Structure formats: C-alpha cells, structure tokens
Copies of this chain bind each other. A is one copy, B any other.
C-alpha cells in the first residue's frame, strides 16, 4: 500500500532531508522510525529536497507500507518512534503511480526575517535576523521582478550540475510585514539548489539600497552566468507547501492554525 504523508521538521539539527550514510538526515530518521514501527526497510521518497538547516511545514513523502494497522493510526504510531524535531502530521492513501516529486505542480517556500535587533534563544532557530533597515516597498518591488520564467543559473549553488536545465517558473511572490517580522512567500514550479536563498539575499540587499533594482535583470540575463555570491542563511527558510493537481492535502491546509499559540514571556 502506498501512502503520502505531510512531514514537518525543524531542520536545524539535520544535514538536510536526503539520506546520507554517516549524517543525521530527515530521510534517515524517518526510515529508521518506519523500521521500528512496521519492521520495514523501504526507501521513502520526498517531494522536494531541503538543505541543512532548512525547515518544513509541508514536505510530502511517499511511503510504501504493508500493514494491518488502520491508516488513521499511522501518524500516532510513527510519531512515537520519531525524534521530536520531525512530526508526521497526516497521511493519505495514494495510487501506486503517485510520484511526490514529479507530480508536484508547485512548491511554496516561506522566508522569515526578524527585524528585531535581539533574537531570543527561543527564536534563533526559526527566524533569520539577516537584514535590517529594509525598505519594505522596495523589497516588494524587487520581489515582483522575479515573477515569470527565467534561467536561474546565476542563483544556483556551486554543486549545481551544468547539464541540467536551470530554467524555472516563479508563479508568485508575496511579501508580508507583521510588526517586526517579514515573510516572503515564493511559489514556483520547482527550485534549483540554493536558488531561493540567493534570490532572498539579493532582494534584501536591494531593499537596503546596496544594489539597484536592475541588478536582478543583470543576474537573470547576463551571458557570463556568474553565481551571485550572496546567500541568505537557512534558518529563516521553510518548505511550506507542495501543490498537486488533484488537491492532495489541500483541504486540510485550510483548517490549519495560522499562529503558534505558545508564549515566551517573563511577565
């Protein structure tokens, strides 16, 4: 039986999502938990790869399980065997033909920037305080210039394979400012390695007046394709959503709580 699950994780203490033999990875921990729970050794398949330090609110993972436990009980029994920095939020039966990566229409990432000078130890894993003195309207203007279909080669990490295409479509970017927090939501068909963190880094530099808006076109259209040397830190980045044509998991997203309700205060 094939099931798809929504996976949340705090990426801080992982060497990324993808399995590596001698590193702590999300995939490695999940496969270990599945082995403990169901005594299976199957490989799981992630919709998107996330780097070291990058979080997830909505990673989708495909799991092949043969077991008599009712499917509604899977999250509870698997979570009992997962470390606390990974939670399996919900699970749905899917067709054998379902491929979480190939079938994904679009991915949404959120980048969270704190505008406070002081980040408490309770925030420092989850927000970036990279960037202050941001001109918010300039940030929005810069972000909109990325919407469309472009070759993002100049925004890729050094590990990027030259043979693969680096053409991607950014469907939408939304910048929201809430008190002393900025959230940049980026919806794209897919992303190349480090693309998002380099896009965010450039937007911020522009919003701070360090580069002109034209720098974006320069980077997107230059023939040299020199990689942008700026990169935003991973701890502000969340893979927030994977969209599928058939609306897999969509309805549940609407029911989600939008605010973390806990409070760290000393009065």
Binding site for B on A (CB under 8 A): 8-10, 55, 57-58, 84-87, 89, 108, 110, 112, 114, 118-127, 178-181, 183, 238, 240-241, 253-254, 256-267
* Majority SS at the chain A contact face: loop
In angstroms, Cα B57 to Cα A260, docked, is 19
- How far is the CB of A54 from the nearest CB of chain B, in Å? 13
Indicate which residue in B87, B112, B121 contacts A262 across the interface (CB closer than 8 Å). Answer: B112
Q: How far is the CB of A26 from chain B (nearest CB, A)?
A: 10
The 12 listed contacts between A and B (C-beta, < 8 Å) are: A9-B121, A57-B264, A84-B119, A110-B266, A126-B262, A127-B262, A179-B261, A240-B267, A253-B266, A258-B265, A258-B267, A260-B263
Q: A180-B261, A262-B181 are in contact. Are A87 and B267 (CB under 8 A)?
A: no
Those 8 A-B pairs whose CB atoms lie nearest each other, nearest first: A84-B124, A57-B266, A258-B265, A10-B121, A240-B266, A85-B121, A58-B266, A260-B264
